[in-house]
Amino acid sequence: MTGLHGSQAWIGATIAVSLLLAGCCSCKPCEPCIDPAPCPAVLEREGDGASTVATSTWFVLKVIDGDTIVARLEEPGRVKRRETIRLLRINTPERKQPGYEEAREALKNLVRGGEIQIEFEDPSTEKRGNYGRLLGYVLVDGLDDNVEMVRRGWTEFWTKYGRGRLVREFIAAQEEARTARRGLWGTGVLVP
């Protein structure tokens, strides 16, 4: 009888730990949420499967370069977060490379008002890249800035990590930029 009681205690402890971990916030693994509002991971598990963060309003704090921004989640009742966001499917010039400043300015102009929406490749899953940055599509008033950076010629459609769900839009934008010799296509950095 004692062995059974000890086994039941072990099972109870295992269940308690599992429940505790199930409530962990996905943005800080295995640390309980301190905000009284449910964290995005809990809302996603309890909701209809759509990411609550993907449809939230963010405010741009800084444009780092043509494919990276820093933004803060701004929606009332949501967990407040500050994130570095890497725009999917584009790869603009790095600092000290030709076109860096122009690409950075182009992205600044696209996020002009500072209020953006972020969508993820899989709307129900928030993914991060090698440097811990959120990977997403940045939208302003319904315009996909990732595709627009390609259309303006500051990057090619970058497929190193896959082609994603907006293949047609990216290919059309790239062809338009190449034909019109916009951005890097006009400077000779990108060769038709």
pLDDT tens sequence across 29-54 = 333 333 333 333 333 333 333 334 44
pLDDT recorded at residue 15: 41
Q: Are strands 115-119 and 143-144 parallel, antiparallel or unpaired?
A: unpaired
Report the CATH number that the domain containing residue 52 is assigned in CATH.
Answer: 2.40.50.90
Residue 149, domain extent: 40-187
Q: Is 164 exposed, middle or buried (0-12, 13-18, 19+ CB in 10 A)?
A: middle
- pLDDT at position 55, please? 60
* Domain annotation covers residue 13: no
User: Does 31 fall in a domain?
Assistant: no
Q: Could you tell me if residue 29 is inside a domain?
A: no
As beta bridge partners, residue 59 has 72, 115
Average pLDDT score over the chain: 78
Domain annotation covers residue 5: no
| 105: in domain | yes
Number of domains present in the structure of the chain: 1
In whole angstroms, give the CA distance from residue 62 to residue 72.
10
- For 51-95, the pLDDT digits (tens) are 344 467 899 999 999 999 999 997 788 778 999 999 999 999 999
- In single-letter form, the type of residue at position 104 comes to R
Q: Which two tokens stand for residue 163?
A: 């082609």
Residues of the chain above pLDDT 70, percent: 71
pLDDT for 22: 39
Handedness of CA 39, 43, 44, 50 (dihedral sign): negative
User: Which tens digits make up the pLDDT trace of 165-175?
Assistant: 999 999 999 99
Number of neighbours of residue 1 by Cβ within 10 angstroms: 5
The DSSP code for 191 is -
Specify if 3 maps to a domain.
no
> CA dist 105 to 65, 111, 174, Å?
8, 10, 19
- Residues 6 or more apart whose CB falls under 8 angstroms from that of 172 comprise none
Asked whether residue 84 is assigned to any structural domain, the reply reads: yes
- Mean pLDDT, residues 147-156: 98
Pairing status of strand 82-87 against strand 68-73: antiparallel
Instruction: List the beta bridge partners of residue 82.
Output: 72
In a domain, 23, yes or no: no
Give the contacts of 181 (CB within 8 A, at least 6 positions apart): 153, 192
